[in-house]
Amino acid sequence: MSETYEVPEQVRRGAAGPVRTREEYLDTYHQAQNDPSGYWLQCAKHHLSWRTPPTLGLQGSYHTIAEAPLRWFADGRLNVTESCLDRHLATRGDKVAILWEGDEPGNVRKLTYRELHAEVCRAANALAALGVGVGDRVIIYMGMVPEAAVAMLACARVGAVHSVVFGGFSADSLRDRIIDCGASVVITQDEGRRGGRSIPLKATTDEACDGQSVRAVLVYRHTGTPVQMVEGRDVWWQDVVPSAAATHTAVEVGAEDPLFILYTSGSTGKPKGLVHTSGGYLLWATWTCATTFDLREDDVFACVADIGWITGHSYIVYGPLANGATTLMFESTPLHPDAGRYWDMVQRHRITVFYTAPTAIRALAAHGTEPVQRYDRSSLRVLGTVGEPINPDAWRWYHQVVGEGRCNVVDTWWQTETGGHMITPIAPVTATKPGSATLPLPGVLPKLLDDKDREIVGPGEGRLCIRHPWPGQARTVWGDHERYVQTYFGTFPGLYFTGDGARRDEHGYFWITGRVDDVINVAGHRMGTAEFESALVSTELVAEAAVVPFPHDVKGQGVMAYVVLRGEAPAGLADQLNGVCRTAIGAHARIDRLAVIPGLPKTRSGKVMRRILRKVAEGRSDQLGDVSTLADPSVVQAIIAAAGS
């Protein structure tokens, strides 16, 4: 039986979230299960600021989703920034809203709620002067500076739809997103800073915008490095935002109007632009942030992710601000200038809730305990993990070394598609097990299916589905609702298929086992295998390619590429191919292992048997099963030899 850690007294004492005890969890879970529409409607009225409060809960179902998207609170009217900013001014105006830690330690900025509100109003007025209005799409391609959050909120303020693109993505990836959502304005900065390095954001933006119909590029001057400015298109942030009026009447929108589009990798080469709406998404981000982390008035909440991902949207910007919290934005890396950077921040800022990725934890654990113990971490109450399943050894190190056994570890499972947490401990409530995401939140109804599509009752392992809608669920794929339906509801009609596998133990606790589709999760970055394969075969060197994940000690999953070359392998082949992937996808796209093979394992109909490639990559060549159905079974031994398996 797995070890279980009860909730520490300091976490349980004074709990402030919507769910504070085991009894409240069970009661809330049953309410949300028995009447999800009514339960979340009441939560929406309580947790958000509305111009016109909704009277409708859920409309639609998974069975009718092909004809019409789901709708939550559809008759409600609001502007999300009034929940995140305006309502706090009377009681929290002088409280720090955003606490920014720059790339170098001690480079700190603080924006109170009053200051942040004024800055968002100025940026909203500047955007309106650039012609940005309701429904327009604005790409935000920035580093981790406060102005990135200001830009998101300013778009929401004027009713525009923002799409944040991670600052590590390439010009090609940025261009694809500009084209797909029809963005007319891009907000960027001269350069980003990360780990002592400069990131040429403006130069990449220029390359991406070349030949596109982007009418304006708003550029925030961060490092002061000279950049090219295109006359008639490019505008300095510092020239138009500070001089704009510090008041702005927020534009009223419907609860089901889009708030943002966020692109995520899929099983094809084309990223999916997932659409999240104003009312349902904001409720889910607000409620889960308060519930999972037991958010309290005096908390300093540090989610050290990037706003280019859903984690940054929900748990750096919208969730913490809607709850009136102090949220930390972190520009650097956990190893800059050394392995004590996180814990130095904890000591200096008296951080109480800390949320990071298992990849970072494993990387820091490799440096031992001294960089942690060098700093005072007594302020910490809750530790969180996000982005991928955490292995038990990393969990124990986080709990025992970083948290000194005093803090609950909330290992959160969720996705870009879900908008917020789905299966996770609730800090003051849930006893935890190393490596387990534990129990579903109220309103989340998981279902496990075996390899014959039958429901697993009780303990077992299978494919993880969700049987009922929740408010934070992405409503569609931008411009391609059919793709949305096929991707998430085509495999198991009437169910949302997560693409993940999971195991449920005898206590009902869930253990996420990883992706079961063609998506690789590398250090929390989701990338489609098709994206890599498309990049590889775009070169003259590669005739065919297949990419699969394999277990990686630090990154969780690594990238294994099998390539069939057109000729002899040149010197530096791996570096050349990694350069191609970096250009096509982004700096985070790297092949960890490369195998040059004579041919791919194909059936007689031409289908690539990825099962064989995955098992070889995982070092399980003795478990390949029957290969007689392959067109050329002899290729398997060559693949095993090339992979060194």
pLDDT confidence of residue 1:
45
Residue-wise pLDDT for 222-273, tens only, equals 999 999 999 999 999 999 999 999 999 999 999 999 999 999 875 555 779 9
Residue ranges for the chain with pLDDT beneath 70: 1-2, 266-269, 517-518, 603-607, 626, 628-630, 645
- pLDDT of 626 reads 63
Any idea which fold 9-497 has?
A: Rossmann fold (3.40.50)
* pLDDT score of 629: 57
Peptide bond into 493 cis (omega under 30): no
For the chain, which residues make up each domain, given as ranges? 9-497, 519-643
Q: Are 417 and 391 in contact (CB under 8 A)?
A: no
DSSP string, 592-636: SEEEE-S---BBTTS-B-HHHHHHHHTT-GGG----TTBS-TTHH
The position carrying tokens 């940026």 is 123
Query: Would you state the structure tokens that stand for residue 96, as one six-digit string?
Result: 């720090």
- Which tokens sit at 606? 């031409």
Confidence (pLDDT) at 243: 98
Encoding tokens for residue 300?
A: 């300093």
- Which one-letter DSSP state was computed for residue 442? T
3 state SS for 320-367: HHHCCCEEEEECCCCCCCCCCHHHHHHHHHCCCEEEECHHHHHHHHCC
Size of the chain, expressed as the number of residues it contains: 645
**Three-state DSSP class for residue 539:** coil
d(Cα 49, Cα 77) in Å, to the nearest integer?
9
- Residue-level pLDDT at 383: 98
Query: Which stretches does DSSP call E strand in 428-473?
Result: 446-449, 460-466
CATH fold of 519-643 reads: GMP Synthetase; Chain A, domain 3 (3.30.300)
**3-class secondary structure, 565:** strand
In the DSSP assignment, the letter for residue 413 is B
